[in-house]
Amino acid sequence: MTPVESPRRPRWRNLALLALLLFPLLWPLQRLAERYYSNELIEQNRQTLDLYVANLLGSLRRYEVLPRILGDLPTLRAALRDAQNPAARDAANRLLDQLRKQTGADVIYLMAPDGTTLAASNWNDEDSFVDRNFAFRPYFRQALAGELGRFFGLGTTSGKRGYYFGAAVRDGEEALGALVVKVDLDHTETLWGNTPEQLMVTDNFGVVILTSRPEWRFRASRALDNDEREQIAFDRPYPTLEPRNLTLDLGAWLIQSRELKEIDWTVRILAPISLVERPVRTVVAIGAATLAAVLLLLGLMMQRRRHYLERIALDAKARQQLERRVQERTQDLEALNSRLKQEVLEREQAQQELVRAQDELLQAGKLSALGTMSASISHELNQPLGAIRSYADNAGVLLDQQRNDEARDNLKLISELTARMASIIAHLRAFARRDRHAPERVALQPALDDALALLAKRRQAMNVELIRDLPDATLWVQGGETRLRQILANLLANALDALNERPPIRRIWLRAERQGDGVLLTIRDNGPGFSAEALQRAREPFFTTKTSTQGLGLGLAICDTLARALDGELTLGNHREGGAQITLFLQSADPGVAFPSED
């Protein structure tokens, strides 16, 4: 009988060496986690920055047209022509107070050509602007020079921050004075809320004017030269003539910025690096704990195996022959048992991963559908909302001038646009359910006229010449009236957007003709045209060549989807003489046959 060898001790040194080889894998895990969480934070802050910039610009654009519009009111002009008449100035004071309540402005005031305030909406307050001279303000000098005055500063009387819009009130070539609207921007800071990310808005001097941290306010984010310091001393926009420097540890912040060129401001979001470091440390700790657990489990398995072999060895000393047969059978059973355990464990893990993946996929699908639907509704309602705002503003002015019939016409147009918005929402809801409706017959020329009327003010403001080549006979096509107006309004709005990039002369050509069993509508502009990439990707949702504040990239995608839903075709290209050319082919409809309406 051969002597039985004692089992070998587990190789703890090998286990320690394996640990030394595996623990360096935590470094690439850390790098991957840092990249992932940094990208997540950057994307989140980018969306937040877009929303804040849109809100800030929207707050300012509401008021930039008011000085020129209100300057035409007879009551205010009378106060400027007869500044020594107390009755005229009192009427102007009361009218300005009423206009301030209606528009939501902070202060509206009327200035004489020498800069003295003749009337103000706060005429009855302790900090009234009346009889105060603000000729040193840049907005006053810009207004008298024939420009729209713009200026951010701290009120010398009220001590409140505000953005000022000023415009000259003229009688022919003579400047009677200036009308100024002050906008309170304090609420834009309160919208930020209490978050780890910090807001910072700097003006053209690099001085912080809006921020979520009061101690940063009116501090210079960069060094100021002598000219800038002299300009600050002259304009007095801040409570101090020597703004102190803002000292930031740039390594402790993840900074994203957006330049607002039209007002020469810069908006920044500063996110603490700790927002990335904390989850990274957690991931590394979990990785290290997992690795330690694996090594510990391996050591326990080695220890257990050692004890097991020792017991077998002791039994083998007494009955070696029997143990040999039992050992062979035992080893087979252990191998089978190990395989079964491993298979069960793998199946349970696979089932858990499958359930988790299904949950995440379902949630992602819900969020994607919600985001797409919200962006579509925002895009489709943007144009009617803009028209409603314009008609509402005009109606207010007309009512002030006792032009009730014209104001009533504006209110009627607002009602029609509201009905149209309801129709658009109903259409989007039906479109989201993938409902199928029989098309109705629609007259192309009236639908095109409606779309042009919706964009008429914008086209006139841009001085765009419209060249029409439409037949006298009505062209009937198969389609929904709401869908067709959506397509035409989006295509015309895109043409106007393209013409923004070129100087006058700006033109849009419209041509419609019968072609085979359908009608072909061609819309052409003399803008820059489509780039090669835009022609390939223009139908993709959220692809756009505009800035984030100008468009979402849904217009052409929606038009293409609606055209195909009407059994039509939308073709994009460039004209040989330059500019973009879009053709819309729709099926013809018999004027004598009426289809049920989809709207």
The encoded tokens of residue 588 equal 């013809």
* E strand spans, 350-488: 440-443, 464-469, 476-479
Q: Count other C-beta atoms under 10 Å from residue 457's C-beta.
A: 14
- pTM beyond 0.95: no
CA distance linking residue 141 with residue 125, whole number of Å = 26
**For a pLDDT cut of 70, what percent of the chain falls above it?**
86
CA distance linking residue 14 with residue 20, whole number of Å = 10
Q: What is the pLDDT of residues 27-57, one digit of tens each?
A: 887 788 778 878 887 888 888 888 888 888 8
At 429 the pLDDT is: 56
Instruction: Determine whether 419 is exposed, middle or buried from the number of CB atoms within 10 Å of its CB (0-12, 13-18, 19+).
Output: exposed
Highest mean pLDDT, choosing among 40-44, 407-411, 417-421, 588-592: 407-411
CATH of domain 436-587: 3.30.565.10
CATH class (in words) of the domain with range 187-272: alpha beta
pLDDT band at 366 (very low <50, low <70, confident <90, very high): very low
At 548 the pLDDT is: 46
Instruction: Determine whether 579 is exposed, middle or buried from the number of CB atoms within 10 Å of its CB (0-12, 13-18, 19+).
Output: buried
CA distance linking residue 480 with residue 118, whole number of Å = 56
At 113 the pLDDT is: 93
CA distance linking residue 547 with residue 262, whole number of Å = 13
Name the one residue in this structure whose structure tokens are 């420097």: 245
**For a pLDDT cut of 90, what percent of the chain falls above it?**
14
The encoded tokens of residue 555 equal 């217009």
Name the one residue in this structure whose structure tokens are 């050591």: 299
At 50 the pLDDT is: 85
Stretch among 287-291, 374-378, 433-437 having the lowest mean pLDDT? 433-437
* E strand spans, 374-529: 440-443, 464-469, 476-479, 506-515, 518-525
Q: What is the mean pLDDT of residues 483-489?
A: 85
Taken in order 192, 196, 197, 198, the sign of the CA dihedral is positive
Q: What is the mean pLDDT of residues 400-428?
A: 80
At 584 the pLDDT is: 92
Nearest CA to 478 out of 455, 433, 444 is that of 444
At 119 the pLDDT is: 93
DSSP code at position 516? T
What average pLDDT does the structure give for the chain?
Answer: 81
Nearest CA to 547 out of 60, 50, 201 is that of 50
Q: What is the pLDDT of residues 108-160, one digit of tens each?
A: 999 999 999 999 999 998 888 999 998 888 899 999 988 998 888 877 777 78
pLDDT at 498 over 60: yes
At 165 the pLDDT is: 93
Name the one residue in this structure whose structure tokens are 């001790």: 9
Q: What is the pLDDT of residues 272-285, one digit of tens each?
A: 887 777 888 888 88
Spell out the residues 6+ positions from residue 35 whose beta carbon is closer than 8 angstroms to its own.
Answer: none
CA distance linking residue 479 with residue 473, whole number of Å = 18
Nearest CA to 168 out of 78, 67, 93, 76 is that of 67
Contact criterion met (CB below 8 Å) for 462 and 506: yes
At 435 the pLDDT is: 43
DSSP code at position 597? P
Of residues 7 and 472, more confidently modeled: 472
Single-letter code of the amino acid located at 279:
P
Of residues 437 and 575, more confidently modeled: 575
What CATH superfamily classification does 66-184 receive?
PAS domain (3.30.450.20)
Spell out the residues 6+ positions from residue 449 whose beta carbon is closer than 8 angstroms to its own.
Answer: none
Spell out the residues 6+ positions from residue 58 whose beta carbon is closer than 8 angstroms to its own.
Answer: none
Of residues 475 and 16, more confidently modeled: 475
pLDDT band at 552 (very low <50, low <70, confident <90, very high): low
At 433 the pLDDT is: 46
Q: What is the pLDDT of residues 210-255, one digit of tens each?
A: 887 888 888 888 888 888 888 888 878 887 888 888 888 777 888 8
CA distance linking residue 522 with residue 519, whole number of Å = 10
Q: Count other C-beta atoms under 10 Å from residue 243's C-beta.
A: 22
Q: What is the mean pLDDT of residues 451-478?
A: 87
For the chain, what is the largest distance between any 2 Cα atoms, rounded to a whole number of angstroms? 133
DSSP 185-219: -HHHHHTT-S-SSEEEEE-TTSBEEEESSGGGTT-
At 368 the pLDDT is: 44
Q: What is the mean pLDDT of residues 374-402?
A: 77
At 355 the pLDDT is: 63
